[in-house]
A and B are shown apart, each in its own frame.
Chain A
């Protein structure tokens, strides 16, 4: 049977999330796959137009419904199941969006899910990290079952643009629950690059000591055109907001340059940066585990080094 992959687009109502382009690349690893991107939204046109440009996409489906204004897993899941009726694979990015939605889809389909796909070995054989990335397991599914998976964005390049897939309206006839209601979202607005897609990231840990202390990293990041990240300890202590957390339970990122400042390098943190091209560590403890993964290590006091770096780069 020819592979037919449905990718659930992630978006904020106006912009397609870059992780969707990475899921497309993952899907292209499945030989001969027809790739369909489904946009569930209140007004899907703008997002659909962006999805249609991704190279490799065969078709874009729009499922327009006022109930789809906010991404609520309980509302989306039955619609995804309806749209995926004759698909062999259903994929979404392994972001908080995909992690929330896809297991709900898998359960409705009665199928196992493959989380955090990092490599496609065949249409029904994949590799994924477990134990905070300390082991990689190869899993194989029954080829006759619908395969539901989430895609580890850091493992795939974004699909190029330049495509022009047709956009079609789809209607689904399923009853949607009203038991879940969106109230609000608070996202810090800033002009810095997005942590998940930035090519440079400056990240800080507990050593920054306070929210005020953390500001020296923002200032260095601005000089570098970098996004800012944080360890869990820094977020827990309130030095940085939760959306900056990098690691097993935060964001998994793959920048060209990752600077870990005053971060010890716990395994849960390292999981989030394994795919960074160059890791720089600045830490006053020469024995800190972060140095085991650092390409460039500098032992010293960050409160002296960071301002000096800023001056030298500036």
Chain B
């Protein structure tokens, strides 16, 4: 079956103003709204569009994390994914561990395309996609803003610092998404009901033969340095004066 695998992560919603816990052991997540990482939503949307165009027969979503992640998997199923895989893991899951787990799922599911977000907006690592492509020994195209598939190949445009770069890769391949690839659809109520009946399989991390090894010790968390309070000026003339005083013009 022509299958696309999409990796998603449960993260603190992008609208939440994240605060560091007073004791410096982490950030406050209690009672905070959680969502699918926005880039992963874009990844899923792209997979669904490819399927709707006839370019794939099945879209499988996967996540690695604690039991609560199933909420996000259900949302993804409501968006239109066919099946969900939940790799159960508690505690910190480093990108390399996530990549190793996803590799096991690739071996099982044999997708021709894997799509993940370019970064998760919690730890902003931007690592899992390329790590997975390396372990899989397949091509990667990161920061995609356009994906075109033709027999056995993908032509992908990526947002790079210089502008837009286009690469051609042989399939199977991995793509990571940038913001302008698409605009994810909204979930409709009847789809939420239907999603409850879609298959969701739980696989404990250790049954995949992947060790939840944490290599980086998180020593302490701190709030960022605050900027000093600024001044207000009342018109363009005062602004120019203020800039002159600072030697900026």
Contacts and interface: CB of A to CB of B under 8 A. Distances in A.
B133 A74 contact: yes
Contact of B216 (A112, A135, A182): A112
Contact of A296 (B131, B180, B216, B230): B230
A12 interface: yes
Interface string B1-36: 000000000001010011110000001000000000
A232 B179 contact: yes
29 contacts: A72-B167, A74-B133, A96-B143, A96-B160, A97-B160, A99-B126, A100-B130, A112-B216, A113-B127, A115-B126, A129-B224, A132-B121, A135-B18, A135-B20, A139-B217, A141-B217, A179-B169, A180-B141, A181-B167, A185-B162, A185-B165, A186-B163, A224-B249, A249-B179, A279-B230, A297-B230, A297-B233, A309-B236, A309-B239
B180 A134 contact: no
A242 B243 contact: no
B215 A298 contact: no
B121 A248 contact: yes
A128 B136 CA distance: 28
Interface in A256-287: 256-257, 267-268, 274, 278-280, 282
A235 B220 CA distance: 36
Given A107-B96, A110-B96, A305-B236, A235 B216 contact: no
Interface string B220-232: 1111100110111
B119 interface: yes
Main secondary structure, interface of B, reads mixed
Given A112-B96, A251-B161, A135 B124 contact: no
B145 to A, nearest CB: 7
A226 B173 CA distance: 40
A134 B124 CA distance: 11
Interface residues of A, number: 87
Interface in B121-137: 121-135, 137
A168 interface: no
B239 A96 contact: no
Contacts of B138: 179
Contact of A308 (B20, B220, B227, B236): B236
B94 interface: yes
Contact of B215 (A73, A111, A179, A282): A111
B246 interface: yes
A138 B219 contact: yes
Contact of A312 (B14, B131, B158, B236): B236
B166 interface: yes
Nearest to B164: A186
A248 B117 CA distance: 14
A278 B248 contact: yes
B189 interface: no
Nearest to A293: B227
A106 interface: yes
A67 B220 CA distance: 43
B63 interface: no
